[in-house]
Structures are given as structure tokens and as C-alpha cells.
Chain A
Amino acid sequence: MQTKYLDTVMYLVLIAIGAITIQQTTSLPEAMAPDVGPAYLPVSLAWITIGLCSIGLVQTFIRNNREMIRFPGLPKIIATTFILVVFFTLWEWIGYFYVLSTVLLAGLLIFYSNDGVLTRKLIAACVAGSFVFNVLLYLFFTYVLYTKF
């Protein structure tokens, strides 16, 4: 993908964020003078953001930079995000953090190790490593920091 396309999309997203900020804050009650009110700073910043993004948009079109932007490891990023979404959902619904985190850690270790040759020994090491790490976490958080999950 060419950088200029992603740049353009990002500028438009940021302009939208600015517009939402203005829309959300202009309805706030006006302050008694001489206080400038709660909307003053966010609205000013939103207008500056929109202004800067507009300049950026114009610059992007003028420069017509054909440089490419690459996302090495994108499948891994998407998969990790999906795994985290599943993990958060399961944790929120069923609890048992340490059980889930042992599975998550072992899964991630195996998934990332898949970049090389994946042997049974390596898988066993990942599972064992995850188990030991989580036991240590449990002991540290439960008996040192008195924090329960």
C-alpha cells in the first residue's frame, strides 16, 4: 500500500475525531464570564487538529509520494488481536484468570515459535514454561501484592 493512501485515511479519521469532539462539547453548558467554560479547550484543540490535518491532506496530495508502507507480520498482528479479544471475552464471562492465562501464554509461545521448526519438545517446553510463569505470577500477586484476579 502506498503511504499517501494510509496518510489520507488517517488524516480523515483524525478530522472525524476533531468533528466528534466539537459536536460532543458544543452542547455543554456555557460558563459564567470570565470563565471560558468546559468546552473551550477541547473545541479549540479540535479545530487546531482539523486545521493541521487539512494542511497534511493538502501536503499529501501535492507531494504525491509513491513510497510504500509495509506491515511485516500483519497476519500475526491480526491473529494476536483476535486471540486477545477471545481471551478478554472468556475472562470476563467465566473468570479463572490463571487457567486462561496459562493457555494464552502457551498458545502464544507455540504460535510465535511456529516461525521456525516446531518440534514436540519445543511445544512441551512452551507449555511447561507457561505453567511455571503463571505459577510464579500467582504466588507473587497473591502472597506479595495481595491482589486477586
Chain B
Amino acid sequence: MDLFSTFDMMTLVSAFGSIFLGLLVGMFFGSMPGLGLTLAITLLLPLTYTMEPLNAILMLLAAYQSAEYAGSISAIALGIPGTVMAAPIVIDGRAMASQTSPGKALGYSLYASTFGGIVGGLTLLFFAEPLARLAMNLGDAEYFLLALLGLVAVTAFATREPLKIGISICLGMIAGTIGLDVFSGVPRLTFDVPELYEGLSLIALVVGLFAFSEVFFMMAGNMRNKYEFSTNDMKIRLTMQEMANGFKAALAGSVIGTVLGILPGVGSTIAGWLSYSAAKQISSTPEKFGNGSGEGIAAPDAANNAVVGGALLPFLTLGIPGTAGIAIIAGAFIIHGIQPGPLLITEQPELINGIFAGFLITSVGMFMMGKLLSRGFAHALVTPNSILVPGVVILSIIGIYTSNTSFFDLWLALGIGIFAFLLRKLDYSVAGFILAFVLAPIIETSFRRAMLLSNGDAMVFIDRPVSLVIICLMASMLLFSIYKTISNKRSSTGAKVANSNS
């Protein structure tokens, strides 16, 4: 594939500019505990209205990639992960930062993140076309089951209560059905409000779910409190020997991250922890894990960034977003009227080649920006919430309004923000909600089309081998979820008994 043959100079310059902006915003938001990658993508999404589709997508992907890495900056500097995915990095990152040097720990993190990003990008490059060809043979029934698989995976692999995840998903799907029915043109759940005829605004929804609700969480405690830490010896540098030491772990993390990224609904939280334990198992020095092991930083960091490329694969080739981040990026595709799926690969090679090339450049750009600015972003960690919160509020308001110039969307986002705050307080999943919201039209359209084409015969969902494989996968995920719930209950009962005995 000749990636650069279709681009002119202006396209390249504007694409580089978009990547730079995405990297900068992603790195800032990713490094700040509480803000994170979802908020970075959420606040950038409204900007994409006025951008070329390629630039818009690259900017969001750059933000996604760099926020995945930047989550490690606060994990290493403060011991507080900037993103949920950076949680495994705290164990060895913090230990190495205090025992050896924070710069060394950041070095392992940055080199592994870049490696993971490149592996994810190469996977995308080499497997997108074959997968798209395979996807051409899939029918509506298989698409329906694949989208459903993503939602089942969210429930099965979640760390929260499965019941509440299930409710979050149902609510997200109900929200996704608001608007005109695509088959009959009948308005559904619109309450005669004209602004709802085209469905809930994705931007108002994500800003409400992620930005406003997060802002309410950030108001706890003294908002002028600052984090304090030493910024000595933060220069990122690794010797060849250290790079070689971390290579095996980074490779394992990249493979695990890519594979789990491809599976819809699994995401990088699990990838990070799984790759950490896998790296420990294959390490020649497993005793160092937990005490500042470079491999313990490299594996989850590589996995986190490899997940991005992996998650893009089913999204671009099948149109199925697998993570909340990709679901928000799907918004940029919707805004520009681009339908992800096998036809996109064959009919819009310029856009697809641009995404692939840009994705690889993003990884390299992230490395350079990380090398130059990680120390600066570490300094930004001292920014108190009293400054961050008003900034996020203003940017959220501007983002919602610019997307549709609608005051209705502002009120909607505020209402959703308050509701989402309460849902999050009670341990419901807003990530599951948004994923279900984006998947709802795919699920409904493919289900109804499959039923129409089969003359109402429900056997259409099980009579092909691919369908059977997907159903088996779903069944095993559900069994795993039940097993996990039972074993969690047993261990908590055991702990209660032990506590009462002592």
C-alpha cells in the first residue's frame, strides 16, 4: 500500500497540525488525574465540525494515543494514575521513581507506549484490508451479533456490578433509539420536541456524561489544593541495555493490547493488567515486579497504546466501536457523514491511507512530544481544580454550542451531566452507556434487516458458522461473568467471616 502517494503538501501540513493539536491536548488531559482521555476526546470533538474529515479523525486519534501515554506521567510522578488504564503502572512506576529516578520510569513508559502504538498501527495497516474483505461476506445477522458481543463483553469484563452495567447499557440503547425510525420515518420518544427528531446530540450527550459529571466530582474537597512532588531527575533517557531489558515485556504487552483491543468491549483496562501479569510470568527477574521493574512499566504501557490500533480495526472494517473512546471518535465520522465499514476501506482509500499513515506518525509524534514535554506536563500536575474546573466548563459550553448552535443541547447536556453524576456515584457505567448509544442504531438496523430478509425467521441468527462462533463467545463471556460474580461474593463473604472472627 503506497500510503503517501495520494496526498498533496497542504493535506500533509494540515494533518500534521491536527496531530500536533491532538497530541498536545491529549497529553495535557491524560496527565491530569481526573481529566483523562475521554474528556480530551470529548472536548476536541466539537472542533471537528469545521475541519476536514481526515484532520478531524487524526486529531482525535492523536489525543487518544497521547492521553494513553500521559496517564503514566501522574502515575509515576504522584502515584495517582491519570487514566484508569494507567493503574498497573503505579506499582512499578512509583517504586522506580522513588528508588532510581522518575526520568527512568518515564523512559520505560514512553518507549513502550511508542512501541505499542506502532505495533497497533502496523496491525491496522496489515489486517484492515483482509478483515474488510472478510467483512464483505458478513450478513446483517452477523453484524447484529458482533455489535451485541461488544455490549456483552462490557458487562462480562467490567469491574463493577454486572446488574448496573446491564442497566447502563439498556439506558444507552434506549437513548440511541430516540429520533426518527430509519425504516418507517416515525418519530420515537421525541415527545414532540423538534430538536429530538434527529436523535440526541452526540456531543451534548458525551459532554454531559463525561465533562459535566466529571466537573461535579472535581468539586469535592478544597479546590485550591495542589499536588506536591519533586521534579528532580525527570529527564527521559534509557540506555540500550535498558531498552533491551524492556523489549520482551513491551512486545508481550503490545500483542495482548492489540488482541484485546480488537475484541469489542474489552478495552485497555483489562489489557494493562493482563499484560502486567503476562510480563511477570515471562520475565527472567519476576522478583523485581512491584519493586520498580522496568518490565512492569513497559508491558501495561505498551498494551494501553496497542489497544488503540486494535480497537480501530473492528471500527474501521466493521463499523463497530469497541471502546468508549472509539465510540466518541465515531462521532467525528457521523459528523462528516462517513460510514465506517468494509466499503470505507475500498471506496475511500485516500481517507483510509491517511488514517493509517497519520496513526503511525502520531506514535512517533507522541514519542517526540513525550521526550520534550513530559517534564512540562509533570509540572502542570500542580494546577489546582479551582482553575481546571472553570476551564473545562467554558470549553464544554463552547463545544456543545458550536456543534449545533442549539440552546436546547446546552440544557440537555446540563441535565445529562447531573443525571450522570448521580449514576456514577451509584456505580453505573457511563462508558457502557455511550458504547450502547453508538451501537444501538447498528444493532437495530442489522436486526430488523436480517428479520426482513429472512421473512421473520429467527434461525437466521444461528444458521451460519460465524454466527455460531460469536454466540459461543458471548455464552462463554456470560459464563465468565457469572463465575466472577460468584467467586467475588464468596471471597467477600470469606473476608467478612475472617473479620468477625478476628
Give A contacts to B, CB under 8 Å.
Answer: 3, 6-7, 10, 14, 17, 21, 24-25, 28-29, 31, 33-42, 45-46, 48-49, 52-53, 55-56, 59, 69, 71-73, 76-77, 80-81, 84-85, 87-88, 91-92, 101, 104-105, 108-109, 112-113, 115-116, 129, 133, 137, 141, 145-147, 149
Contact = CB atoms under 8 A, between A and B. Distances in A.
Contacts of B157: none
Interface in B369-426: 385-387, 389-391, 393-394, 397-398, 401-402, 407, 410-411, 414, 418, 421-423, 425-426
B394 A49 contact: no
Given A34-B452, A72-B221, A41 B166 contact: no
B144 to A, nearest CB: 11
Contacts of B167: 14, 49, 52-53, 56
Contacts of A6: 422, 425-426
Nearest to A37: B184
16 contacts: A6-B425, A14-B167, A38-B184, A39-B188, A41-B440, A41-B443, A41-B444, A45-B177, A71-B425, A73-B220, A73-B223, A80-B393, A81-B414, A109-B386, A113-B386, A149-B401
A137 B43 CA distance: 14
Contacts of B426: 3, 6-7, 10, 69
B219 A49 contact: no
Contact of B386 (A81, A87, A112): A112
A105 B389 CA distance: 10
Chain B binding surface SS class: helix
Nearest to B453: A34
Contacts of B186: 28-29, 38
B174 A17 contact: yes
B106 interface: no
Contacts of B171: 14, 17, 49
B498 to A, nearest CB: 19
A101 B448 contact: no
Contacts of A108: 389-390, 393
In the A-B complex, the 9 residue pairs with the smallest Cβ-Cβ separation, listed nearest first, are A34-B456, A73-B219, A72-B220, A38-B181, A112-B386, A108-B390, A116-B224, A76-B219, A73-B220
Contacts of A28: 181, 186, 188
Contacts of A29: 184, 186
Contacts of A36: 447-448, 451
B285 interface: no
A85 B414 contact: yes
Q: Is the interface of A mostly helix, strand, loop or mixed?
A: helix
B110 to A, nearest CB: 30
B216 interface: yes
Interface residues of B, number: 59
B45 to A, nearest CB: 14
A81 B398 contact: no
A34 B453 CA distance: 9
B221 A73 contact: yes
Contacts of A147: 50, 402
B56 to A, nearest CB: 12
Given A42-B188, A49-B171, A137 B224 contact: no
B452 A141 contact: no
B394 A133 contact: yes
A72 to B, nearest CB: 4
Interface of B: 47, 50, 163-164, 166-167, 170-171, 173-174, 177, 181, 183-184, 186, 188-189, 191, 215-216, 219-225, 385-387, 389-391, 393-394, 397-398, 401-402, 407, 410-411, 414, 418, 421-423, 425-426, 440, 443-444, 447-448, 451-452, 454-456
Given A14-B167, A104-B390, 15 more contacts: A10-B423, A24-B188, A35-B183, A38-B184, A52-B167, A53-B167, A56-B164, A80-B219, A84-B397, A84-B414, A85-B414, A115-B224, A116-B222, A116-B224, A149-B401
Nearest to A112: B386
B174 A101 contact: no
A86 to B, nearest CB: 12
A56 B410 CA distance: 32
Contacts of B177: 41-42, 45
Contacts of A81: 414, 418
> Chain B CB within 10 Å — which of A7, A41, A129, A141 has the most?
A41
Contacts of A77: 216, 219, 421
A146 B50 contact: yes
Given A36-B448, A81-B418, A25 B170 contact: no
A125 B377 CA distance: 23
A52 B451 contact: no
B189 A56 contact: no
A133 B223 CA distance: 20
A45 B173 contact: yes
A143 B166 CA distance: 46
Contact of B174 (A46, A87, A109): A46
Contacts of B443: 41
A109 B392 CA distance: 12
B451 A35 contact: yes
